[in-house]
Amino acid sequence: MKSIEIFSEYYKYFLRGTRATVVISLITVIFGSILGCILALMRLSKNKPANTFARMYIAVIRGTPLLVQLYIVFFQLDFISYPKMTLLGLDLERTLPCIIALSINSSAYVAELVRAGIQAVDIGQSEAARSIGMSEAQTMWNVVLPQAIKNILPAIGNEFITMIKETSVIQYLGVADLMYNNGIVITSTYNPLPSYYITATIYLLLNLVMGRGVTLFERRLQKNER
Amino acid sequence: MNADRQTVLEIKNLRKDFGELEVLKGVDATIKKGDVMVVIGPSGSGKSTFLRCVNRLEQPTGGQILFEDQDICSSNNDINKLRQKMGMVFQQFHLFNNLTVLENITLGPTKVRKLKPAEAQEQAMQLLDTVGLREKASIYPSQLSGGQKQRIAIVRALAMKPDVMLFDEPTSSLDPEMVGEVLSVMKDLAESGMTMLVVTHEMGFARHVATRVVFMDDGLIVEEGSPEEIFNHPKRLRTKDFLSKISTAF
């Protein structure tokens, strides 16, 4: 098996790349989700400017390719002085714009999911909360959001899996993620296919673990109600 | 009747329309402390809308609602503050699905009245005792029967120590054998002196528990009086007509 040979020789590259991909994915998923929730609330708010902004943001981000967004963020935000240092083998000057672009991208999709989740919660739940004197924010936080998130968890898991795979575009900015290291190995072995198999297997494993995590969380929320 | 009791709710010329549809066409009512006012009338007569306007779940289009002398529509008054004192019970219960029975009852007291959790829990357990559901404290609403859900919804509202309780067809979505348990809780509540505004189709309850009965039709109050006056000596033709249609059920 050529793949096993190549992996045992170059495993350091693959592991280094995997670590970078995992770290970047996790950060993206967290920021993307927070930003997505905020956008969903803006999208549902009666405040006209907030509502219009969220609508346009979602339309633009969903309507343009991630790779294009990545380059635009990279060149447009070049006035930011990112720290000139490396962390976990990652050059922050290149990695941070990637995380920003990925989070922005993910947030638009999360926002639509969260919005659908909130709208699917029976209006009676909020009316009951308001009728005991809770404010709009208290109602959202204590009653509506917990139920909305439970409803959309499978779809959110899907979005996280997509995000892990999509991080592979950051190799084009020279960020040393899994795909980038995969390229390094190919240039030194002159044998692309085994490397691609290894890389595919690693992405698959990451997503199986992620999927499992979401399922466990889902089950825990469900146990709360049965 | 004792005329110097404190006025809890004063409703003047209340109007509500949904676009073209005029649902309330000028409703006037006064509810004094200890009153149990039961609103009856055909479907679509505006009873529920009337009730939902009282705590501003529906925004009135016109008129005035004074709750303990404060205008509920005025921007000077914090509606969240006023709602704390107006308990509401819904046809579809609307218990919070993501919370246990105990958490359903303590959410308002801890978040809104700022009670300490232990204090709120103790109060909740006492209230659960009064409706005989103490042993259900730690389970989720999905495991309860309709009658149990509604009794807990009543307790949830009472935990806020309201001055008036609003009931929006509280037994209309219950199986027949569960109606009694909910009505008996409401009867106990009425006998304890709670001021109540009840929209219902339970004529037995209206006849025996109400201090005053209001008959609504087509967005207006047609007739108002004691249960004896409304049920035994209705004056208006529409009231007689309505009562004759439902009397076959008794």
Q: How far is B49 from chain A (nearest CA, A)?
A: 14
Angle of the A92-120 helix axis to the A48-63 helix axis, nearest 10: 120
Report CB contact under 8 Å: A122, B87.
no
Q: What is the pLDDT of residue A80?
A: 86
Reported ipTM: 0.92
C-beta of residue A165 within 8 angstroms of C-beta of residue A219: no
Q: What is the pLDDT of residue A129?
A: 97
Q: What is the domain range of residue A144? A: 3-225
Mean pLDDT value across chain A: 92
Give the N- to C-terminal CA distance of chain A in Å, as an integer: 49
Task: Please check the confidence at residue A170 and state whether its pLDDT lies above 80.
Answer: yes
The tokens describing A191, both together, are 């044998």
| Pairing relationship of beta strands B70-71 and B86-89 according to DSSP bridges | unpaired
The pLDDT value recorded for residue A225 is 62
Under an 8 A CB cutoff, do A131 and B157 touch? yes
Q: Average pLDDT of A45-72?
A: 96
Q: Say what the pLDDT of residue B3 is.
A: 57
Residue among A125, A134, A146 whose CB faces B112 most closely: A134
CB-based contact A128 B55, cutoff 8 Å: no
Domain tally for chain A? 1
- CB-based burial of residue B99 (10 Å sphere; 0-12 exposed, 13-18 middle, 19+ buried)? buried
Residue A223 has pLDDT above 80, yes or no: no
Q: Amino acid letter at B215?
A: F
Q: How many CB atoms lie within 10 A of CB A144?
A: 22
Q: With an 8 Å Cβ cutoff, are B80 and A127 in contact? A: no
Other Cβ atoms closer than 10 A to A220: 9
Q: How far apart are CA A165 and CA A160, in angstroms?
A: 9
When pLDDT is cut at 50, 70 and 90, the band that residue A218 belongs to is confident
B109 token code pair:
């007291």
Q: What is the CATH number of the domain that holds A114?
A: 1.10.3720.10
Q: Tell which residue, A207, A166, A176, has the closest CA to residue A67.
A: A166
Whether A128 and chain B come into contact, CB under 8 Å, resolves to: yes
Question: Is the confidence at residue B250, as pLDDT, over 70?
Answer: no
Residue B1 pLDDT > 90: no
CA distances to B41, B44, B214 from B217, in Å: 6, 8, 10
The whole-model pTM stands at 0.85
> Under an 8 A CB cutoff, do B94 and A125 touch?
yes
Q: Quick one: average pLDDT of A148-168? A: 92
**pLDDT tens string B65-99:** 999 999 999 988 999 999 999 999 999 999 999 99
Q: How far off is chain A from B52, nearest CA to CA, in Å? A: 10
Exposure letters A70-101 (e unless 16+ CB within 10 A, then b): beebbeeeeeeeeeeeeeeebbbbebbbbbbb
Task: Give the pLDDT confidence score for residue B147 in this predicted structure.
Answer: 95
Within an 8 Å CB–CB cutoff, is residue B111 touching chain A?
yes
What is the nearest CA distance from B227 to chain A, expressed in angstroms? 29
| Mutant choice from B89, B111, B152, B164 vs A, greatest count of A C-beta within 10 A | B111
